[in-house]
Amino acid sequence: MTDLAWIETAITAARPQAIGALLRYFRNLDTAEEAFQNACLRALKAWPQNGPPRDPAAWLIMVGRNVAIDDIRRGRKLQPLPDDDTISDLDDAEDALAERLDGSHYRDDILRLLFICCHPELPPTQQIALALRIVSGLTVAQIARAFLVSDAAMEQRITRAKARVARASVPFETPGAPERSERLGAVAAMIYLLFNEGYSASGDTAGLRAPLCEEAIRLARLLLRLFPSEPEIMGLTALMLLQHARAPARFDPGGEIVLLDDQDRSLWNAKFIAEGLALIDKAMRHRRTGAYQIQAAIAALHARAEKPGDTDWVQIDLLYGSLEILQPSPVVTLNRAVAVSKVRGAAAALSMIAPLEQRLSNYFHYFGTKGALLLQQGCRDEARIAFERAIALARTTAEASHIRMHLDRLKRDSEAIGT
């Protein structure tokens, strides 16, 4: 094979399980990461000739472990190879509930690694950033984009997190039930950021990044098995299912963005929608409202609408109002403004987002939304300025192409008026 893109895809998908298994074996983060990188180098040499292994993750784990053991035995520069008794037992004893996950034993090293990274020794922002880097293998730039911070700031945050873990001698072991409960919020946030990294992919990369969404949903389902009565985890899982259900309709065959109102709803995944609606309905019956549940309820209103005109925008506006109180954020207010424009008009929405401009001065969606609202008001020159700012902030070719469509239309209309 001359096209090696499949190798990158396979390695990316296998990374979380491989890193988790190597960490479980060596109990050292640097050793696990180095072992994985060495295995990847071997894969780049072997796989093009031999083809993909039946189980890429198992291949990387085996090769990485063997290479690391050989390096330790040969070098012994830092410390000798641990005795067999001190190396992690592959049959770790867990409590009865955890052992039932993934079959008869607790074998989900990815979930184990998530809880490890979300250790209370680390501030929440560092927990999530470290988990995204170690578990998912996202680049610093990708993580920075998820947090809406600069690459340099995120690099420093991850470096501090690793240093703090080293200083605290954090044990890389599966936490017990009480510790899992304490870290649940950080793990849930990490999973949702992982999902968003895949969901925000452009049309030309959506296929390659879709596994991130699928992995996030799988992890959320595992969390539900650990915490079956936790409504926020139900809400998180429902939210991702309902959003991912729209994936087949979000881009046209050319990779161009298709807005929600213009999507072919017959392409939406009915199975995901049914599962998501059942979960959010179950979560709401607990009467312990949380941010994920509110967002899932908003997604559910979109999913239940057979056509755009059936969407209950009044209820969506109210839900976003509740989310603003529970989890205030300029992005939440920006999203609410879209609902407000449907209920009370573009002028009301523009008044709502005007105070947000300074805080969202580098946010593509702010200027894209502002331009669309100005266009509805007939403010063509102001809309053009907003769209030009948006296209400068576009992160993907699909985003830039979508804004270019508006600018081209404004230009054509202006020329028509001039003639």
The pLDDT assigned to 166 comes to 73
d(CA 107, CA 123): 27
Averaging pLDDT over each range in 96-100, 148-152, 177-181, 307-311, which range is the top one?
307-311
Q: Which two tokens stand for residue 158?
A: 């991850």
DSSP H helical ranges for 202-326: 206-226, 231-244, 270-284, 291-304, 313-326
Q: What's the token pair of residue 271?
A: 């199975």
pLDDT given at position 187: 84
What is this structure's pTM? Answer: 0.72
Give which of 188, 189, 181 is closest to 221, Cα–Cα: 188
Helices marked H in 135-205 — which ranges?
Answer: 140-147, 151-168, 177-182, 184-199
Q: What is the pLDDT of residues 16-43, one digit of tens each?
A: 778 888 887 887 777 888 899 899 999 9
Q: 337 — phi, psi (to 5°)?
A: -60, -30
**Dihedral of the alpha carbons of 64, 69, 74, 79, in degrees to the nearest 10:** 120
- Where is 365: in which H helix or E strand? helix 364-376
Q: Is the pLDDT of residue 359 over 90?
A: yes
Find where tokens 């936490």 sit: 175
Mean pLDDT of 117-134: 80
Looking at per-residue confidence, does 215 or 4 come out higher?
215
CB 371 within 8 A of CB 345: no
Residue linked to tokens 């072919």: 264
**Most confident of the ranges 51-60, 120-129, 232-241:** 232-241
Question: For 405-416, what is each residue's pLDDT tens digit?
Answer: 989 888 887 766
State the burial class of residue 203 (Cβ atoms within 10 Å of its Cβ: 0-12, 13-18, 19+).
buried
CA distance 109 to 81: 22
